[in-house]
Amino acid sequence: MEPFEMSKLLKPLLENMELTDGCWGSDTEISFNIPVYFNPDEYFEGVHVHTNENEDYINLYLSYDFEDNMVTLFGTYNYAIHSKGGNGYDDFTFDIPGLDDDTRKHLEGLLKPERDKYIRERWDEFANVPFNDSKPDTDMSLENDWWLFKAGTSREEIWHWFDDNYSKGVYHLLYKGS
């Protein structure tokens, strides 16, 4: 199942988009439900949702993968017996990398508060991660793999990752607290 046009599809989503029910699919990916407050029949080819004739519906989700720094918009069209001759569903995914910069920035802005919350939780966990500091003239390094980082990764390299990915930077994490 394909959308007619990405720009036509995203217009009603972006105008009043809200994200609900954040769910971690893995250590690096979070997905959110997007409530559908528009007529999906106008935006998706082959669906028949906006009717009293069946119980079909569409679920839309927005996810962010920290490791790949990738935003994905995906959904499921759930149909009942009346519309397609049997119960079932079709999955579909939209190509977010093809979006214009303004739309991408808007979607990333919606994810920012939850992304920061998750990074803050990882930072708090980071305080208890064991480091090897047996070489006094070098930066400490991870004893074991942790989250996105392999054993042997320097503390400074991890701080740089937090600085690049937390909206307020590593200084805020180090000195401003919660």
- Whole-structure pTM value: 0.63
Q: Which helix (DSSP H) or strand (DSSP E) does residue 71 occupy?
A: strand 70-79
pLDDT digits (tens, 9 = 90+) for 40-84: 777 666 667 767 777 777 888 888 777 777 777 777 777 764 445
Question: The dihedral of CA 67, 60, 102, 100: what is its sign?
Answer: positive
Residue 9's pLDDT is 57
Residue 32: half-sphere exposure toward Cβ, Cα within 13 Å: 20
- C-alpha dist (Å) from residue 42 to 50, 61, 132: 9, 18, 58
pLDDT band at residue 105 under the 50/70/90 scheme: confident
pLDDT digits (tens, 9 = 90+) for 106-140: 777 777 887 888 889 899 999 999 999 877 667 79
Residue 160's pLDDT is 95
- SS3 helix, strand, coil % of the chain, rounded to 5? 35, 25, 35
Whether 27 has a pLDDT exceeding 90, the answer reads: no
Residue 56's pLDDT is 77
- C-alpha dist (Å) from residue 26 to 30, 31, 65, 147: 7, 10, 9, 10
Residue 21's pLDDT is 67
Average predicted confidence (pLDDT) for the chain: 76
